[in-house]
Structure 1
């Protein structure tokens, strides 16, 4: 049965020639394509430097250059939930809104590594494999963007994407992310291969306010976080936490499990009150997944996250 629509999920940070080819391949197999722009709720970082709107603009421009019929392509933001079942439900929900409930849907993608595990989370959906482009991935393009070496190949980066990247390189956000890239690389270099870290965080909510810390360091500079610290390698919290959040892709430097305690943080970890409504309305003001932790604990969703996570292709 020919699917009514094809769903293409990715981070597209940034879009490149393989992404364009995948959308065009999907358009050849289905009447309509829904592009879901993942990590739409996360702050700018070296892993997710571009907003959902910026990625949609880049990809739309690249598809226009390639002659694709944009009337058949829909773009929607998709938040990271760090809960695989909730995330998959979001994908199904948006597909139902765009194509209609019960419509025949195909999921676009190829299984390149663990980040492609989500392709198996949609029983009943058809699979629409796309050809892999060896040696081309957005991680390398981000490295080239933030280090200046090596230069991305012009053929791998469509003109519409290069134009936005050139403008982005003139912004304060780019300067901050270049510093963050260097800091992340330096932090990783100090860790033995395969290191998994633990961190302690405190969530304190009282009288309509939540206590948050503003990060001064290069990684996540200026973003809010729950007060606390990352423990040295090999150390674990001494006391049991109210909840543990350990999605594989939640932290920038290394896989890190967040042990979250309820109540005021020790005085050594400074924090200030922020109106809770303001904090809840600003997910992209938060470092890593701290807004997700806040909202899940406020809903009473405590406990460890299932290990499969919801890592997305780059």
Structure 2
């Protein structure tokens, strides 16, 4: 049985190295499954575009180069901020049979290539100096974005004229300012999960970072301030936009009371309405207490799209 190639990435935005990797996979394997990551995350300077937008851009780029789009399928991959849960998501998204995981180990973010011992690894081409982090930095500073397919470049130019780009530019500046002001001290935040009946209490963010998004009530502590003892810890290094921050989360009402009730079913179905990983934290703390029939919105939307 021929192996299926699996390519995991955030593709924020898709660039020439991504496309070359896909082309190489299609030359060696009959089918390619692309898993656009961070599919459950709100628009931010780290994840500006939705999984469906990125899948559309990749399809267009494949067509531009004459690659067989009919042999490519997509499945959105949510962030879990937990290696075991994330790996389980990956396995669930991949059809049965032999699998070749496409990629190369460039840094700690590529460690996942070693998490699937039952699969082979197909090495991807190395493009020194080309990465999506630098492309986003140029883009939100108003510069040109090069080394992307023609259709991606057109999309990025059109996106500049949207309110979302204006908001993300402001977020970019605010994040850079916040990082520059941080001392070399661990950051902590305190959050509360208050669920009563069919409602969960949430706050709405008003500053430039995550403006308009829901968050669990609480606050980021001033640098050097220690949190209250106890609570459940969420400390994944990529969970916060500004800097690595450990969240200390308790059940119950937040002390300041600045939150409002939102239907729990609505909140659970709208992960991309939440700041950072707050939707993941909510689901994790509810666990077996999730309301009956509450479906998982993180696995819907792109499966098997030609």
Q: TM-score, normalised by structure 2?
A: 0.92
CA shift digits 1:11-54 (9 cap, x unpaired): 00000000000000111111111000000001000000000111
Q: Distance in 1 between matches of 2:186 and 2:47?
A: 21
Q: Which residue is equivalent to 2:217? A: 227
CA contact (8 A) 1:196 1:254 kept: no
Greater shift after overlay, 232-241 or 40-49? 232-241
Q: Distance in 1 between matches of 2:278 and 2:155?
A: 29
Runs of 5+ consecutive residues of structure 2 not aligned to the other structure: 290-306
Q: Distance in 2 between matches of 1:3 and 1:168?
A: 40
* 1:3-152 to 2 correspondences below 5 Å: 3-96=2-95, 101=96, 103-149=97-143, 151-152=144-145
Q: Distance in 2 between matches of 1:93 and 1:274?
A: 31
Pairwise CA distance, 1:239: 2.5
CA contact (8 A) 1:15 1:55 kept: yes
Q: Does 1:189 align with 2:177?
A: no
Q: Which residue is equivalent to 2:148? A: 157
Q: Does 1:215 align with 2:205?
A: yes
CA contact (8 A) 2:183 2:223 kept: no
Q: 1:251 aligns with which of 237, 240, 244?
A: 240
Q: Which runs of 4+ in 1 moved over 2 A?
A: none
Q: Distance in 2 between matches of 1:168 and 1:107?
A: 32
Provide the aligned length of Structure 1 versus Structure 2: 289
CA contact (8 A) 1:5 1:105 kept: yes
Q: 1:206 aligns with which of 188, 196, 216?
A: 196
SS of residue paired to 1:34: strand
Q: Which residue is equivalent to 2:171? A: 180
Q: Which residue is equivalent to 1:271? A: 259
Q: Distance in 1 between matches of 2:153 and 2:34?
A: 20
Q: Distance in 2 between matches of 1:179 and 1:20?
A: 30
SS of residue paired to 2:6: strand
CA shift digits 1:204-258 (9 cap, x unpaired): 11021111000000000000000111112222212311x1111111100001110
Q: Distance in 1 between matches of 2:238 and 2:131?
A: 17
Q: Distance in 2 between matches of 1:292 and 1:226?
A: 11
Pairwise CA distance, 1:106: 0.4
User: 1:5 and 1:218, CA in 2 relative to 1: closer, same or farther beyond 3 A?
Assistant: same
SS of residue paired to 1:257: strand
Q: Does 1:238 align with 2:228?
A: yes
Q: Distance in 2 between matches of 1:270 and 1:184?
A: 24
